Amino acid sequence: MTYGELDQLAINTIRILAVDATSAANSGHPGAPMGMAPFSHVLFNKFMKFNPKNPSWANRDRFVLSNGHGCMLQYALLHLFGYDLTIDDLKTFRKLGSKTPGHPESTDTPGVEVTTGPLGQGFSNAVGLAIAQAHTAAVFNKPGYDLVDNYTYLYFGDGCAMEGISSEAASTAGHLRLGNLIAIYDDNHISIDGDTNCAFTEDVLKRFEAYGWHTLHVKDGDHDLEGIEKAIAEAKTVTDKPSVIKLTTTIGFGSKLEGTGGVHGNPLKADDAKNVKVKFGFDPEKSFDVPSRVYEAYGETASKGAAAEQEWKQLFAKYKGEYPKEAEDFSRRLDGRLPEGWEKHLPTYKSTDAAVASRKLSETVLTKLYPIIPELIGGSADLTGSNLTRAKEAIDFQPPSTKLGDYAGRYIRYGVREHAMAGIMNGLAAYGTIIPYGGTFLNFVSYAAGSVRLSALSHVRCIHVATHDSIGLGEDGPTHQPIETLAHFRALPNCMVWRPADGNEVSAAYYVALTSKQTPSIIALSRQNLPQLENSTIERAIKGGYVAVEAENADITLISTGSEVGICVDAVKYLKDNHNLVARVVSLPCWEVFDTQDREYRLSVIPDGIPVLSVEVMSTLGWEKYSHEQFGLNRFGASGPYKQVYEKFEFTPAGISKRAVATVGFWKEVKPIRSPINKAFIQLI
Amino acid sequence: MTYGELDQLAINTIRILAVDATSAANSGHPGAPMGMAPFSHVLFNKFMKFNPKNPSWANRDRFVLSNGHGCMLQYALLHLFGYDLTIDDLKTFRKLGSKTPGHPESTDTPGVEVTTGPLGQGFSNAVGLAIAQAHTAAVFNKPGYDLVDNYTYLYFGDGCAMEGISSEAASTAGHLRLGNLIAIYDDNHISIDGDTNCAFTEDVLKRFEAYGWHTLHVKDGDHDLEGIEKAIAEAKTVTDKPSVIKLTTTIGFGSKLEGTGGVHGNPLKADDAKNVKVKFGFDPEKSFDVPSRVYEAYGETASKGAAAEQEWKQLFAKYKGEYPKEAEDFSRRLDGRLPEGWEKHLPTYKSTDAAVASRKLSETVLTKLYPIIPELIGGSADLTGSNLTRAKEAIDFQPPSTKLGDYAGRYIRYGVREHAMAGIMNGLAAYGTIIPYGGTFLNFVSYAAGSVRLSALSHVRCIHVATHDSIGLGEDGPTHQPIETLAHFRALPNCMVWRPADGNEVSAAYYVALTSKQTPSIIALSRQNLPQLENSTIERAIKGGYVAVEAENADITLISTGSEVGICVDAVKYLKDNHNLVARVVSLPCWEVFDTQDREYRLSVIPDGIPVLSVEVMSTLGWEKYSHEQFGLNRFGASGPYKQVYEKFEFTPAGISKRAVATVGFWKEVKPIRSPINKAFIQLI
Ligand SMILES: [Ca+2]
Ligand SMILES: [Ca+2]
């Protein structure tokens, strides 16, 4: 295949759109788009399978720009191919309310698969997308029906390569032998601090070889279109390993400052922008000026993509005739519908049932749902036996050659890689046929904070099974005992933090997590046994908060979560017996869900007239929102048997009662005592 | 060198102490100590330089157990060599209040250099310790005076090797050519999920070669003491690269379950414990039974270490004679004393001074202090030009061969490696001669959460320069705009979160950060310009909170931080002009410091009688602690020019005033209106 003048024109059009958009915004990153334009031209026109008129076609190739600051590259491509992104959208790059924000957001722009920008995230998302493809193919493809055979193409730069999360994800991809993943490393020798020689001198390809990847090098990524095409073609032939193509490019190609840090994160100077246009044969006085021939050529590629989807639809129709059950399941998953009646399989408990650790209760839920919800794909960051995340009959997701499982397997061994696990889960969820959950200790969800944040921002349904959720883990000590973790994620918008107190609450947490298609969840679970509460039901708990112990003419409300709710229940008796005080208890397993209930309900749970004391064995930060006084742990924990640790910090009926007495006394003189539910104004949403 | 029966006895003693302590605790990890005992015996007796009677000898070799769950190995060694850790301390392993917690904590146990357990952390700490050695040697060593020539020895396991932070740190160490760092990879093929084949099949040594490390392999780490000795000796001869020794061992060596996951995280069964003792020639009925010959042998090594320190002291005395200035500086740093009068160099501002971005004000502080505090070692995770963390005259810390700097340089190019940067800073601080600071965007301090947590837990003075601290960063958009970050770290115990509003507050933040020897700080700084406040002084701001605008008979207190304080000041006029309401303004740059002020002062800042409205352009979580009503951003931000983004979310004098009016109206009927400073009881500390 030879390339001609039209190819060069198209490549330069992409470059100039990046120059114009960053100039118009007076902000942004022109350098990477200018360097990566040649590769992108070849990849999108010769290899990638996509239909701009239907960005959600199930078998489309996935494209991930992990170096998301180069998003004008992606926006330019999406525009030229005819996605719903106009030239005016490019003109409003980085402007308020535009479809072209400063970094790619899957919720804002058609054709953007995952939200990237925070470096390394896209890398792990791409691994997730590739796992999802391999799994979906293994489950649904049939002889003669390659229903799912898409590739995932991933761009990453030096910044992504330096981030730990991409090391974790790359090692995982190598282990899993994901032949459907092709990564392109933009080797432009520049990061924000200047030449990568100042901090990044490792041999990147050798590192990827060590992970088990197939490696290639295109030495002249600026000009060698044939070499690029050959490399992609070769990568596609290697089906038992992921491939990485090191693409040596000149950042800001065409600019007076090409090859320097000067073109990385700032628009070109006005005279340089003109210089680039002249150099590329464009009118220096015009902006956003796309040659019609380029639109036509890219339109042809788009038409081929539309035709490919048509063909695929016919294949699917035939498949539906032959495999109606599978076809229905495939469609159901893509629609995000759960199997009819699945919720009837959630376990329920009576207060006479035995005390059980909530991590164990979670295992029961997962085991019950395993045969019912086939799109539920689990895993753990090397803590399977502690997180209890694996249904007994589960098969591991493994390359068949390992003899440890196969690609139809539904349990992923993430290794000790919390951050990549969460990033991979985001990719799994973005693929469309999978609901991922993954386990680690609550304390180590913090390692994954970068990815959890992007789950929330990009509205994907991931479930974090976060066990060993407090000082209740005991002997492992303060290095493993979360204090700040719940406050952290409660402050994160669009992320549900659950801390269930018993079996029904665990079922409720999963019910809401699974039915919230746009929101990730963190379910904090105890290591230690917890009693089943008298008043708990799934129906009550799915409101996020409810009255666990009601009392007439109460003096105080105790409000609590998880393992401390049972202790509060015991404190009710202690308070009556020792202080003649009447207490009621509220269980508040999920703040975010409780906040969405109507005011009347919330006030019935946390009523006016009596003070509220919160009880949770970690940071009190934020509990003022629901209580007048707070009992918590604003310090690190201690290593020892958990009951002794609880005693030490006075999380006992006596310790709670002491503070309840102080609370009642302290609030006597205030009239009226208003429930903290009452606020002067409503926050912006 | 040949090894005999006494060596084997010592090795087995270590193993059996690990068995006994985990059995007594009924909890813990015997496997790694049993596997790593032979190597440790050789390393500590033949190579390591340490004096158990003075664990803080400046030139001691540093030992870091990154696989901290194997801490009984370290505790056993410390005990046998005569550190202040008795056999009774071993008997109380993992018990409440003991000196032997479930994971090694530098604050609890003499001889433990850094707090480890969360996997990968120790790896990055060791890189920090090695950088610190190289730097300290380059600054203080003189011809004939190798004052500082210690090595750092690092153990890490499969779990650490999988964590992204260790990849980041290893790549950094390779780039920096840290020949003083010798890492031992415990290749025992087991992690919690079982055989590492299930998730971790990369070629670890090849990966380290790619990073630029010297690699070695000891194939029989269970028996080959000569091979171990040879490998360590060889590693020491390679002075221009860090070395990694892959040590193939049998986890739980001697147990019936040796080589399996069964000995990783659980004590041996009683009969197996006996079996091990019999196998090793110990009395199966006795526990914690150390042969006196082992004490004697280890005591001899300890004596040699004491003698070595004596010799070093003489060297230092001579050095002091010849280089009195350097000697005094060296001692001063080790004592943690800052140079006399340093604080006079902190810049101060008048309200008539120009508006300046607080990241720029931070640069001014760092530039002023650069020549005054030589132990201040800076850096950035590839955002130098954005974080403004580099004093203009700074020299980079680089291997001289790069010609980009030298080891005496004081500016570290961390690359895009936030997590490793924070972990390395913990190691730098732990070395004793350095105060580290490092920059990234506030949003990406979250990537480093695991290490920041350990700074706080282990009481080290690290300063995180966290710029671009809100939606005020503008165009980069929601992927880069922190919402939950301040709440997260405010909830973290022993971590100061500063968000200064102007120049004097920036100086105050640095003043407190630098003088708080036991506490890390995060200083959140704006991208955009901020006016200098009327009432701000360093003296006021170091109290963590003060009255920025006072008013008699005020109707409301507005309480705020950073960039919003200036807007609140403007809102005072707006409220007067448009609503005839009198407002006062409180600036609260650091909650943690404000909380340590006496009650009277805090009540003078946030007085009884009028309602308080908080204003901060991120999550309101926790602000209820200081205010009756909260104005914040409990959603993600937006990409656009920052002034428009502020307008969109109504963080303007008009937007604040609207909410202030609602607040005053809403609280009219409550009597008395109590300051939120008043609490019914005091939290446990
Ligand atoms: Ca949340
Ligand atoms: Ca804090």
Write out chain A residues lying below 8 Å of B390, CB-based: none
Question: Tens digits of per-residue pLDDT, A437-460?
Answer: 999 999 999 999 999 999 999 999
What is d(CA B629, CA B154) in angstroms, rounded to the nearest whole number? 50
Q: How far is the C-alpha of B232 from the C-alpha of B216, rounded, in Å? A: 9
Residue B2: per-residue pLDDT:
84
**Mean of pLDDT over chain B:** 97
CB B525 within 8 A of CB B589: no
Alpha-carbon gap: A532 to the closest alpha carbon of chain B (Å): 27
Cis peptide before B143 (omega within 30 of 0): no
CB contacts < 8 Å between A and B, how many? 421
Ligand-binding site membership of B385 (annotated): no
B145 CA: distance to closest CA in chain A (Å): 30
B454: its two tokens: 């350990």
Q: Which CATH class is domain B544-668?
A: alpha beta
- Tokens 């539910």 locate to A677
Question: Is A175 assigned a ligand-binding role in the annotation?
Answer: no
Q: And the tokens for A386? A: 């502690």
- Cβ neighbours around B260 below 10 Å, total: 17
- For residues B49-70, give the mean pLDDT: 98
Q: Model confidence at B123, in pLDDT bands (50, 70, 90)?
A: very high
Residue in A191, A183, A167 with CA at minimum distance from that of residue A235: A183
**B447 to A450: CB separation less than 8 angstroms, yes or no:** yes
Name the 3-class secondary structure at A304: helix
Residues of chain B with CATH 3.40.50.970: 5-307, 342-530
pLDDT digits 0-9 by tens, A237-292: 999 999 999 999 999 999 999 999 999 999 999 999 999 999 999 999 999 999 99
Q: For residues B108 and A333, give the distance between their C-alpha atoms in angstroms, rounded to a whole number.
A: 52
Catalytic residues of A: 418
Q: Which residues surround ligand 1, an ion (CB under 5 A)?
A: A 490, 492, 495
Cβ of A450 within 8 Å of Cβ of B444? The answer is: yes
Grade residue B384 by pLDDT with cuts at 50, 70 and 90: very high
Q: Say how many C-beta atoms besides its own lie within 10 A of residue B650's C-beta.
A: 15
The average pLDDT across A318-329 equals 98
Q: Where in chain A is the domain with CATH 3.40.50.920?
A: 544-668
| Predicted ipTM beyond 0.90 | yes
Three-state secondary structure call for residue B569: helix
Q: What separation in Å is there between the alpha carbon of A131 and the centre of ligand 2?
A: 39
On chain B, the residues whose CB falls within 8 A of the CB of A202 are: 171, 174-175, 210-212
- Residues from chain A that touch B159, judged by Cβ atoms under 8 A, are 382, 416
Q: Do B34 and B22 form a contact (C-beta atoms < 8 A)?
A: no
| Contact between residue A408 and residue A384 where contact means Cβ atoms under 8 Å apart | no
Which positions 107-136 of A are in contact with B (Cβ < 8 Å)?
A: 115-120
The residue in chain A having the minimum alpha-carbon distance to the alpha carbon of residue B105 is A479
pLDDT in tens, B366-377: 999 999 999 999
Around ion ligand 2, residues with a beta carbon closer than 5 Å are B 490, 492, 495
Percent of chain B past pLDDT 90, that is, above it, reads 98
- From B105, B418, B564, B629, the catalytic residue: B418
Give CA–CA dist A646/B270, Å, rounded. 29
- Interstrand relation of B529-530 and B356-357 (parallel, antiparallel or unpaired): antiparallel
Q: Contact B158/A416, CB-based, under 8 Å?
A: yes
User: Is A450 within 8 Å of B446 when comparing Cβ atoms?
Assistant: yes
Q: Could you say which of A413, A477, A658 has the minimum Cβ distance to residue B199?
A: A413
Residues 6+ apart with CB under 8 A from A385: B192, B193
Question: B193 and A27 in contact by Cβ < 8 A?
Answer: no
- pLDDT given at position A1: 53
- List Cβ neighbours of B311 (8 Å cut-off, separation of 6 or more): none
Name the residue type at position A568.
C
> To 5 degrees, how large is the angle CA B26–CA B31–CA B37?
120
Task: Mutate one of B106, B260, B447 to test the A interface: name it (highest A CB count within 10 A).
Answer: B447
Quick: pLDDT tens for B421-436: 999 999 999 999 999 9
- CA–centroid distance, B591 to ligand 2, in Å, is 8
CB A591 within 8 A of CB A544: yes
Q: Is B410 on the interface with A (CB under 8 A)?
A: no
The answer to whether A477 and A566 have CB atoms below 8 angstroms apart is no
A595 annotated to a ligand binding site: no
Bridge partners, residue A585, by sequence = A549, A558
The residues in A 615-654 lying below 8 A from B, measured between CB atoms, are 619-622, 624-625, 628-636, 638-641, 644-645, 648-650
A342-530 placed in CATH 1.10.510.10: no
pLDDT digits over B209-223, tens only?
Answer: 999 999 999 999 999
φ and ψ at B182, to 5 degrees?
Answer: -125, 115
CA A452 to chain centre: 5
How far A585 CA lies from chain B's nearest CA (Å)?
19
CB contacts, 8 Å: A207 with chain B: 207, 210-211
Residue owning tokens 């002084």: B537
Which residues in chain A touch residue B456, judged by CB atoms under 8 angstroms apart?
Answer: 636
Pairwise CB contact (< 8 Å): A414 & B476: no
Residues of B in contact with A558 (CB under 8 A): none
Nearest to B622, CA basis, from A634, A513, A93: A634
Among candidates B402, B415, B457 on the partner chain, residue whose Cβ is nearest the Cβ of A636: B457
Rounded to whole angstroms, the Cα distance separating B674 from B608 reads 5
Q: Which of B643, B586, B592 is nearest to B622 (CA)?
A: B592
Q: Give the pLDDT mean for B576-586.
A: 98
Residues from chain A that touch B387, judged by Cβ atoms under 8 A, are none
> Tokens 């990061």 label which residue?
A191
The reply to whether residue B96 touches residue A648, judged by beta carbons under 8 angstroms, is yes
Shortest CA distance from A411: residue in chain B: B198
Give the H or E element holding residue B248.
strand B243-248
Query: Are B417 and A165 in contact (CB < 8 Å)?
Result: no
A294 in contact with chain B, both atoms CB, cutoff 8 A: no
Q: Which two tokens stand for residue B88?
A: 């009774």
pLDDT recorded at residue B1: 53
Percent of chain A with pLDDT over 90: 98
Q: Do residue A493 and residue B483 have CB atoms under 8 angstroms apart?
A: yes
List, for residues A158-184, the tens digit of each pLDDT value.
Answer: 999 999 999 999 999 999 999 999 999
Disruptive mutation site among B186, B475, B486, B581 for chain A (greatest number of A CBs within 10 Å): B475
Nearest to A200 by CA among B237, B404, B204: B404
Cβ <8 Å between A671 and B671: yes
CATH topology of domain B5-307: Rossmann fold (3.40.50)
Q: Of the candidates B488, B538, B483, B484, which has an alpha carbon nearest to the alpha carbon of residue B515? A: B538
A346 contacts A368 by C-beta, under 8 angstroms: yes
Interface test with A, best of B29, B99, B421, B479 (most A CBs within 10 A): B479
Q: Of A115, A210, A649, which is closest to B203 when you measure between CB atoms?
A: A210
Residue of B82, B407, B35, B519 whose CA lies nearest to B250: B35
Residue B454 CA to ligand 2 centre (angstroms): 13
Q: How many CB atoms lie within 10 A of CB B354?
A: 9
Closest partner CB to A457 (pick from B202, B636, B676): B636
Q: Within its chain, how far is the Cα of A411 from the centroid?
A: 18
CB proximity B159 to A under 8 Å: yes
- Alpha carbon distance B545, B548 (integer Å): 9
Distance B425 CA to ligand 1 centre (A): 30
Taking the centre of ligand 1 as the mean of its atom positions, its distance from the CA of residue A495, in whole angstroms, is 4
Strands A529-530 and A356-357: antiparallel
- 3-class SS of residue A505: helix
**pLDDT digit string (tens) for B629-647?**
999 999 999 999 999 999 9
- The answer to whether residue A91 neighbours chain B at the CB level (below 8 Å) is no
